Amino acid sequence: MNIGIASDHGGYLIKQKLTEYLKNKGYNVVDCGTNSIDSVDYPDYAFKLCEKVIKGEVERGVAICKTGIGMSIACNKVKGIRCAKVSNSNEAKLCRLHNNANVIAIGADLSMIEIKDIIDNFLQTNFSEEDRHINRINKITKYEEEHER
């Protein structure tokens, strides 16, 4: 599986550790930046990651900033992205199972143990394909299409 990963300066160190973890698990990791702890604008990296997801270059994305909030907001501005800001492994599992999230945003303030558990649940959980969940996602997609900016 190809996994895209992006961070701002606040998530850079976690991104580096997480990239190594994912590669060791056999994932192909596509790094969308940033490449240092120097201050940057998180939307630039969120958009780069999301474009790779939309184009099918990666199957899922992981966005990291200090809290995960900014990255989540930016990712969800990209048509076709369903990004969940997650703080624990149960949320990571449910965002896939119920919402078919294709990107998650996490905060760099979590421990690596928590982050690994979150990532494992996100990557190992498939969408449920239940009609009720499909219907809800379709409503979101329809609204998005009807209200393009």
Q: Which of 32, 50, 65, 75 is catalytic?
A: 65
The CA-atom distances, in angstroms, between 130 and each of 4, 80, 125 are: 27, 20, 14
Instruction: Give CA–CA dist 60/2, Å, rounded.
Output: 7
Instruction: Give CA–CA dist 33/5, Å, rounded.
Output: 8
Residue 10 DSSP symbol = G
Give bridge partners of residue 52 from the DSSP assignment: none
Identity at 19, one-letter amino acid code: T
Query: Is residue 32 flagged as an active site residue?
Result: no
Query: Is residue 50 flagged as an active site residue?
Result: no
Q: Are strands 83-85 and 2-7 parallel, antiparallel or unpaired?
A: unpaired
Catalytic residues: 65, 98
